[in-house]
A and B are shown apart, each in its own frame.
Chain A
Amino acid sequence: MAEGLAVDSPPAARRGARSVVLTGTAVLSAYGRGTGALLSGLRAGQHAFAPVRRFDVSARRVSCAATMPGSPDLRAEVTRAVRDACDEAALPPAERARTALFLAIHADPDIARAPASEQPALGPGAFAAGIAASCGLAQQGIRSYTSACVAASTAIADAAAAIARGQANRVVVAGGYLVDSDQFALFDAGRVLADDGQVRPFSAGRRGLLLGDGVGAVVVESGESARARRAPELALIAGWGRAGDAYHPVKPHPDGYGMARAVTAALQRAGIGAADIGYINAHGSGTGHSDPAETNALRLALGDAAGSVPVSSTKSLHGQTLEASGVVELIVTVLAGSTGMLPVNAGYLGADDSCRLNLVLGSAQAATAEFAMSLNAAFGGANTALIVGLS
């Protein structure tokens, strides 16, 4: 493993000179709409999983997910989140019209049941363009990311990289997934859902993941632009990294090869060391293969600090929000750092020797973190690391 890293490590990650900040956030989770609802849920440390009522799960092996009541509409909820994030960033209409949207989304939920003639208009690109138009954002530079559980984190990294190099002053990054019958059936068929109704990341006895509703939006902006318009600076996007495993179509590299390189690149861009990270919001899917791989990645990238930095996977609370994971969990990470409250790694039953980390157990813990990191991984061996500065 170490030999592989030595052979394939890229040169030190580069970045543009400009600082990158978050000036607006908005989120929906199974705890409700808004960062306040999410923060309350994180503080309470009670998971949001319950039997699914939104669609028929009687033919499924597993019946639980973390959902809001009813059947919220994805387009409406993403639109609401983007508008709310722009409002928090105090963006006037003229500035919104100059701001591109990067949207992480699987597809328009209607595409698989639409007539073939209508399908071309229901792709993720068209979905993103519709959201941008509804929110008064720019009609140029729109991107849609479909990279599964790293879609939103990749979009945030790309936005930060472009802003740091002066290619853009500001990008709104959003992501959305609302638990639906098709994805639920797929995950159930893949036998990756936890049949005990709870997600137990890094724990002995973990039995898999559970899906969750998630919509998030962040305004990513150059520090210069934010200061010029006296916008709130909620957090610094200090570093970002992405790397692949080159191992398997859907399984992570057991040694955490790609994620370790993503973490290393993020640390290099942030200009900090492993010991400077005060909290890690882990990918922590709660599946058998993924959690040990992530543990190995952290050991490889952080060295001794991997045993001391507090870690939790809040998928144990709000569930796996697929394409939205990167933005929802970045917002969780910012909330944790800015409020001095590290969310619990819920569902823990006992130690697993392959997942030895300093987990936040029992309940949320009070702690300060000048820098915090959010990790995500996906099918394809895709890995991302985002580091936020919170001073």
Chain B
Amino acid sequence: MMQLHAAASPDLAALHAAATAAGLTVSSSACWPQTDADREVTPVAGFIESTFSPLVAEVAGRALSGRDRVQQPGTVIGIVLVTALGDVTSAIRVATAVDAGQRVLPLLFFQSVPNAVAGYLAARWHLTGPVACVSGTSAGLAAAALLIADADADEVLLVRADLAVTGGGDRAAAILVTGQAGRE
């Protein structure tokens, strides 16, 4: 997977800068779209109807596979998922079915909260740290910094994902962060 430079995406550059300001060091990162080839995100088995969870899985996978070192046994990595509105596409699907008096597709239940795709990532990449979902980048970074400072996690994978409803098309970015050397 191509290593991404922060400047390749304004969202990612801003995330890098915010992470540094929060006292964190970014060891790997990725975004969507990353190149012009990023037009349709790869589906994830078990997640339907919406690009939200596949988007999260894609950028997280890119950031994790782009690491320049192998994950050491015993390393505890937490997940902080940041999203302004969450999977609003799925929420609309549910509301539409309810208003029409139809049954809701059972798989929509399992993806009805952002935790589900975080759990997918945790299982796929053996991320055993805490899982948290918040709505703002600064809150996510502050939570991540405290998890590392308090030894709840050695590293944190922070993913920011927003669907097109918030403007500008589906977009996501992921950073893997550690504490800064010399700081607890």
Contacts and interface: CB of A to CB of B under 8 A. Distances in A.
Nearest to A108: B85
B108 A258 contact: no
Interface stretch (B10-18, B24-32, B33-41, B114-122): B114-122
A84 interface: no
Interface in B67-86: 73-74, 76, 78-79, 83-86
B182 interface: no
Contacts of A59: 101-103
Interface string A1-38: 00000011111111110000000000000000000000
Interface string A168-211: 00000000000001110111111110000000000000000000
Contacts of B184: 14
Nearest to B136: A125
A165 interface: yes
Interface residues of A, number: 70
B143 A111 contact: no
A143 B122 CA distance: 23
B104 interface: yes
Nearest to B47: A249
Contacts of A158: 132, 143, 146
A145 B115 CA distance: 11
B6 interface: no
Contacts of B109: 186-187, 189-190, 192
A248 interface: yes
A106 interface: yes
B8 interface: no
A65 interface: no
Interface in B92-106: 92, 94-95, 97-99, 101-106
Contacts of B76: 8, 10
Nearest to B154: A10
B171 to A, nearest CB: 14
A147 B131 contact: yes
Given A165-B146, A182-B94, A248 B119 contact: yes
A186 B103 CA distance: 9
B42 interface: no
A302 B106 CA distance: 36
B139 interface: yes
A137 B97 CA distance: 38
12 contacts: A10-B154, A147-B131, A150-B131, A165-B146, A186-B104, A186-B108, A243-B152, A245-B123, A249-B120, A250-B110, A380-B119, A381-B119
A-B complex: 7 closest residue pairs judged by Cβ atoms:
A380-B115, A190-B109, A380-B119, A112-B95, A242-B130, A382-B131, A125-B135
Interface of A: 7-16, 56, 59, 106-107, 111-113, 116, 119-120, 122-125, 128, 142-148, 150-151, 154, 158, 161-162, 165, 167, 181-183, 185-192, 241-250, 257-258, 261, 265, 378-382
Interface of B: 46, 73-74, 76, 78-79, 83-86, 88, 91-92, 94-95, 97-99, 101-106, 108-110, 112-120, 122-123, 126-136, 139, 142-143, 146, 149-154, 165-167, 184
Given A244-B78, A379-B119, A380-B113, 8 more contacts: A162-B142, A186-B94, A192-B109, A242-B130, A242-B132, A246-B126, A249-B120, A378-B131
